[in-house]
Amino acid sequence: MIVPATARQRARVLHEELHEHNYRYYVLDDPVITDAEYDRLLRELQQLEATHPELVTPDSPTRRVGAAPLKAFGQVHHELRMLSLDNAFDDEELADFDRRVRERLGVETIEYAAEPKLDGVAVSLLYEDGVLVRGATRGDGETGEDITQNVRTIDGVPLRLTGDGIPRVLEVRGEVYIPHRGFEQLNRQAIAQEQKPFVNPRNAAAGSLRQLDPKITAARPLEMYCYGVGLVEGQLPERHSEILTRLGEWRLRVYPGIGRVQGLAGCIDYYQSLEQQRATLAFDIDGVVFKVDRLDQQQQLGFVSRAPRWAIARKFPAEEAQTRVAGIDVQVGRTGAITPVARLEPVFVGGVTVTNATLHNADEVHRKDVRKGDTVIVRRAGDVIPEVVRVIREKRKKGARRFKMPATCPECDSAVERVEGEAVARCTGGLFCPAQRREAIKHFASRRAMDIDGLGDKLVDQLVETGLIHDVSDLFQLDVEEFSGLERMAEKSAANLVNALDQSKETTLERFVYALGIREVGEATARILAQEFGDLEPLMQAQVDTLQEIHDIGPVVAQHIAGFFSESHNREVIRKLRTAGVHWKPVATTSVLSLKGKTFVLTGALSMPRNELKDRLQAAGARVTGSVSKKTDYVVVGDSPGSKADKARELGIKILDEAECLKNI
């Protein structure tokens, strides 16, 4: 059907008007029409689009909600890694940061951009030709989840950017959060519907973004502030603060009070003033982020592992509260570590109700001398486990007894051992201990490991208790009937769980290695192992000394890894998992081992500090020496190289420029 010109024109006008009102309402907080008028315009456009479906465009104001529920989220590879931030917990640490920056740049005073550290969920938005084409979570920084249809439902996120000079490709990064008012309302609703209320706004925001049905996300009061950019194809200003201003001009939401401050003193002033405003802000923040404002300086500073050297989060002090210790229990962890835990009378601190606090280990309990019945100060900061800060001795009741670590495991009765020089006591029961088994299975199922949706902690406890499973491989043998025989497990949830288990079978090598729960092998180490060995078999066969040759893997970790794979029951569990269908694609191994034993000489002016390239080459197993000889394998030349380049040519040694060299690392 041909769309009449009048309809097309009217649709265009409605687009413009609705985008404008949306922007005024959600970004500027300054509406010029009533909600009813807005609804009328929106309905008119909906009707036009219903009659002439050709008029529907992806950036139409009617397209925020309406996509069908997904079965699972797709994956998004972040072309530029989404980094985290280093923390400074007091002014001294902030001063150290500023000193390091000044020294590295050789500059007396640094200009910083200062912003609140929003307590929400990091999200990346991708705009192509000004149109929102993708939204993604941070995930592990390299791979996140595709939540496009969910971010589209956030009213403050423009479906289309407006203004001049918008780069062809623009990846915007920011934090999605739920403001206090929205959070309270959400929880009132939850309680009225006899659902469990959310613990805090951050969890509510994270949960809302992870909904497969965008209608649920749309009903949550999510907001977003943008704090930076990722991938860009096009021109942007040369200062971070100016980029943010530009984002605001294009109608993205940017916190209005962003500062540009001079040096450490400026940072401290900004911090103090924001700390004072904190209680009056409409949303949670947990500190201030300072970023070197000039991009050329940022580039010069670069990164260390997961965080930039040019930014720091100055955290607000953790909140504290007073309560009473109802008792001290011990908990057995995945690796058998026995942790004393204080059971507390519930107390509201740092945004949640706390009922337990870790006491870390026996030494810590004795140092703080925490006893059953004591009145204590507890502290909770961000996501950190709450802890007991100190005991109020004046309030101790007579006869309060000192805590004693049990000599045997409370779960399996095996002996508790404390290795010389280690603070931690461990149950020696290994996987015979039901607590260790439970925790190993929880870890295996967790989001960053095998990501088995619906296999919560309580369920794992039940599965182990009832003897339905003994190790992780048994999970894949259970069917809907067996699951639905469990407490609080309807047939529908059982079917979902079987489905989730099935889906989890397709995984990656690094996730699988992490999921195995080898001591001291966290995500970063699992990634290194995956990259280094490419597949599981070579890793399983690696000897301690081979493992130790890998940069970042020390003798203790190497022992744990080799020890784990030498145990026949671990190999058997792995075999059963693979038979059940758990699989991954082999990883193309990095050239790390191929640089091993190669000798490099660096000459000329490089774009990064010479020591940095040297570190990176050495990390990849190469040797870096000062002079060219017949033993040299490669000479890396920068600008205006000297005689070393000539000598290399003379000797017929391979010459690389910096880019070629980096490609090999």
Residues of this chain that bind ligand IVH (CB under 6 A): 83-85, 115, 117-118, 122, 138, 175, 227-228, 289, 308, 311, 313
Closer residue to ligand IVH in complex, CB, 78/527: 78
Closest residue to ligand IVH: CB criterion: 122
Which string of DSSP letters, residue by residue, matches 617-642? HHHTT-EEESS--TT--EEEE-BS--
CA-angle at 124, arms to 122 and 128, nearest 5°: 165
Give dist(CA 610, CA 595) in Å, integer.
Answer: 18
Closer residue to ligand IVH in complex, CB, 122/547: 122
Query: Per the residue annotation, which of 71, 117, 395, 598 is the catalytic one?
Result: 117
**Taking the complex as a whole, how short is the minimal distance between the CB of residue 12 and ligand IVH, in angstroms?**
36
Closer residue to ligand IVH in complex, CB, 200/462: 200
Query: How far apart, in Å, do the first and last CA atoms of the chain sit?
Result: 58
Which string of DSSP letters, residue by residue, matches 38-86? HHHHHHHHHHHHHH-GGG--TT-GGGSS-PPPPSSPPEEE-SS------
**Taking the complex as a whole, how short is the minimal distance between the CB of residue 309 and ligand IVH, in angstroms?**
10
**Taking the complex as a whole, how short is the minimal distance between the CB of residue 308 and ligand IVH, in angstroms?**
5
**Taking the complex as a whole, how short is the minimal distance between the CB of residue 85 and ligand IVH, in angstroms?**
4
Question: CA quadruple 260, 265, 268, 272: dihedral positive or negative?
Answer: negative
Joined tokens for residue 106 = 């050789």
Query: b/e per residue, 406-445, with b = 16+ CB within 10 A?
Result: eeebebbebebeeeeeeebbbbebbeebbbbbbbbbbbbb
Integer angstrom CA distances of residue 466 from 434, 439, 440 = 11, 16, 17
Residue of 205, 203, 199, 147 lying closest to 175 (CA atoms): 205
Closer residue to ligand IVH in complex, CB, 115/532: 115
Strand, helix or coil at 649? Answer: helix
**Taking the complex as a whole, how short is the minimal distance between the CB of residue 566 and ligand IVH, in angstroms?**
38
**Taking the complex as a whole, how short is the minimal distance between the CB of residue 586 and ligand IVH, in angstroms?**
30
Polymer length of the chain: 665
Closer residue to ligand IVH in complex, CB, 78/117: 117
Strand, helix or coil at 257? Answer: coil
Angle between helices 263-277 and 91-105 (to 10 degrees): 140
CB 410 within 8 A of CB 332: yes
Joined tokens for residue 365 = 């309990």
**Taking the complex as a whole, how short is the minimal distance between the CB of residue 153 and ligand IVH, in angstroms?**
20
Give dist(CA 173, CA 232) in Å, integer.
Answer: 12
Joined tokens for residue 18 = 């609705």
Pairing verdict, β 623-625 and 599-603: parallel
117 belongs to the catalytic site: yes
Closer residue to ligand IVH in complex, CB, 222/289: 289
Closer residue to ligand IVH in complex, CB, 228/429: 228
**Taking the complex as a whole, how short is the minimal distance between the CB of residue 216 and ligand IVH, in angstroms?**
22
CB 223 within 8 A of CB 29: no
Closer residue to ligand IVH in complex, CB, 137/632: 137
CB 443 within 8 A of CB 517: yes
Closer residue to ligand IVH in complex, CB, 139/641: 139
Backbone angles phi, psi at 415, to 5 degrees: -65, 145
Joined tokens for residue 55 = 């008029």
**Taking the complex as a whole, how short is the minimal distance between the CB of residue 276 and ligand IVH, in angstroms?**
18
**Taking the complex as a whole, how short is the minimal distance between the CB of residue 221 and ligand IVH, in angstroms?**
19
Strand, helix or coil at 307? Answer: strand
Strand, helix or coil at 27? Answer: helix
**Taking the complex as a whole, how short is the minimal distance between the CB of residue 367 and ligand IVH, in angstroms?**
30
Give dist(CA 109, CA 37) in Å, integer.
Answer: 52
Closer residue to ligand IVH in complex, CB, 117/379: 117
CB 409 within 8 A of CB 435: yes
Integer angstrom CA distances of residue 302 from 72, 295, 611 = 36, 10, 13
Joined tokens for residue 243 = 């980029």
CB 584 within 8 A of CB 508: yes
Name the DSSP letter for residue 306: T
Closer residue to ligand IVH in complex, CB, 83/449: 83
Distance of CA 588 to the CA centre of its chain: 24
Joined tokens for residue 149 = 């249809």
CB 551 within 8 A of CB 620: yes
Q: Which of the residues are catalytic?
A: 117
